[in-house]
Amino acid sequence: MPMERKPRLRAKAGRTAAQIRWLERQLADRFVAEAKKRGFRARSVFKLEEIDRRFGLLRKGQAVLDLGAAPGSWTQYAVRKGCRVVACDLLEMAPVPGAEFVQGDFTDPAVQEQLRARLGGPADVVLSDAAPNTTGLRAVDRLKSEALAEAVVELLEAVLRPGGACLLKLLKGAEAAVLARARPLFAGYRLIRPAATRAESSEIYLLLTGFGGPNPKPAAEG
């Protein structure tokens, strides 16, 4: 069997050592090659594809809200499955034909309003692959991940239809706090670590199914 050769890049002006390591890792990664071959913008599409295949998450005709969507491979996947997608990211995202895009912070009420307007009704599925900028300090990163995931859960009451599902990314360690918040709102949940997750990554996905609908407001007293 031929020996597998690790791709090596020559140092080039303007590239840091970390950038060179990242590029070498990308070149050696079979998921990167497969994503390119199938016309997807990122290898993370295979995490969604695996979860979708295992749990039947996305179906033709569904309205999907994709939070933290750039560069757009999850949006591409959902559009190819025949879903109507509204995507949101802090960063610009090249248009995905068939999807709408709102650039902004989905925790901002003004952006949430735009997302609701673009959806034009409740979403069947909310996806969040959103990741905060990490610091390398595990406790700080876990808290940032918790806060972002909790913001997704808070948004669900305003955008998800009863019976709908939500898939969201977490850093390991954040699941207890997020589940304490989300679990009462859903009939079921699963924690999943897809095969395409990089070995050194501490991310996991929380799949929440059977949304119970917005909490009824307590009756006014008097």
CA distance 147 to 85: 24
Q: Which is nearer to ligand SAM, 194 or 213 (CB)?
A: 194
Does 106 sit near ligand SAM (CB under 6 A)? yes
User: Any idea which residues carry the catalytic annotation?
Assistant: 169
Q: Side-chain half-sphere of 4: how many Cα atoms within 13 Å?
A: 5
- Residue from 20, 23, 119, 131 that binds ligand SAM (CB under 6 A)? 131
Does 143 sit near ligand SAM (CB under 6 A)? no
Q: Which is nearer to ligand SAM, 63 or 152 (CB)?
A: 152
Q: How far is the CB of 127 from ligand SAM (least distance, A)?
A: 8
Per-residue 3-state assignment (H helix, E strand, C coil) for 30-83: HHHHHHHHCCCCCCCHHHHHHHHHHHCCCCCCCEEEEECCCCCHHHHHHHHCCC
- The widest CA-to-CA distance across the chain, in whole angstroms, is 81
Q: How far is the CB of 183 from ligand SAM (least distance, A)?
A: 23
Residue in the structure block whose two tokens are 């207890």: 176
Does 101 sit near ligand SAM (CB under 6 A)? no
Q: How far is the CB of 74 from ligand SAM (least distance, A)?
A: 4
Q: Which is nearer to ligand SAM, 8 or 105 (CB)?
A: 105
Helix (H) or strand (E) holding 111: helix 109-119
Cα angle at 21 between 18 and 22, to 5 degrees?
A: 85
Does 191 sit near ligand SAM (CB under 6 A)? no
Residues 6+ apart with CB under 8 A from 166: 125, 126, 127, 128, 152, 153, 156, 160, 182, 186, 206, 207, 208, 211
**Which token pair is 34?**
């497969």
- Residue from 26, 28, 38, 107 that binds ligand SAM (CB under 6 A)? 107
Does 206 sit near ligand SAM (CB under 6 A)? no
Site string for ligand SAM, 56-95 (x = CB under 6 A): ------------xxxxxxx-------------xxxx----
CA distance 219 to 182: 23
- Residue from 35, 41, 102, 156 that binds ligand SAM (CB under 6 A)? 41
Size of the site for ligand SAM (CB under 6 A): 22
Residues that bind ligand SAM (CB under 6 A): 41-42, 44-45, 68-74, 88-91, 105-107, 129-132
